[in-house]
Amino acid sequence: MPELRFDSLRREWVAYATERNDRTFLPKDFCPLCPSGPGGRSEVPLDTFEVVVFENRFPAFGPDRVRGRPVRPATTGCEVVVYTPEHELTLAKLPPERVRLLIDVWADRYTELGARPEVAYVYIFENKGEEVGVTLHHPHGQIYALPFVPPFAKAELDSARERLESGGRCLHCEEIEREAAGPRSVFASQLMLAFVPHAARWPYEVHVYPRRHVGSIAELDDAERAELADALLRTARAYDTHFGFSTPYVMAVHQAPTDGESWPQAHLHFEFYPPHRRPDRLKYLAGVELGAGTFVNDTRPEETAAHLRKAAELAVSNVPGSA
């Protein structure tokens, strides 16, 4: 049974899930996420599907039933989101209408899970590639319904709240204005913007923002959802074009907590962290990152943004039917 423990020194939660050691690991003759038909042995006993969501059989977070420790309610949990029945695809290769549907699914799960009183934060993410520890190659992401606001999101929210309470504007909106026409912009549309942040921790880190101030993915209107789908595709394809292969990454969605409090400072955005710093070299977290919590980046954000800007333009021109 998964367990949560609170580190009083760092004031953060740590999850223990020992049964994950026994989960399926890069199977070669069978994929648990492919459709296997009614009565089949995969997690998706259907002939086909568009997008499927189900509870993770090996959750990283679960109810803590150890006496004397904080209890994590059973109504929070970990879900798997399977993007397509086609095993060999990736997010970058999905048709725009499928990514648009995926955004609707994310919004639905954010609303449904976030409405549960025990859920303080709905964390949507994707791990892609063996380099970031993925155990199944079939294109999929995950959703964690957490009973606490995770540290990275909380740090952003605290900083943004301080700015608002001191009479300033939304920190994220200020960043959007600063980056829109600057040297770190990767691409922009009427409603979306993608850029390498000025203090990027990962060499080719990219943030994707809606220009309008919205707290969560559920608040996006139809036009914004369509442009977000295009922006996610352009980002993933830019990576593949720049590096010359299907690029691993972590994609993390930061949005408003669902703990019933007011979060006017929250501004929805997607963060991409690819581990490669060159096609033949990875960025490893080592002593200063893991031990001190300070990232050392051996590339300048302005340089990597220029690389990705060019790759994004090439990626769009190589898509069938593009102008």
CB 34 within 8 A of CB 138: yes
| Dist CA 41 CA 58 (whole Å) | 16
Q: What are phi and psi of 172, to 5 degrees?
A: -70, -40
Sign of CA dihedral 32, 59, 285, 276: positive
Which of 138, 140, 242, 267 is catalytic? The answer is 140
CB 274 within 8 A of CB 180: no
Nearest to 161 by CA among 292, 280, 17, 257: 257
Q: How far apart are the first and last CA of the chain?
A: 53
Half-sphere exposure of 108 (CA within 13 A, CB side): 11
Catalytic: 269? no
Distances (CA, A) of 30 to 55, 72, 285: 20, 33, 32
| Dist CA 272 CA 275 (whole Å) | 10
Active site residues: 140
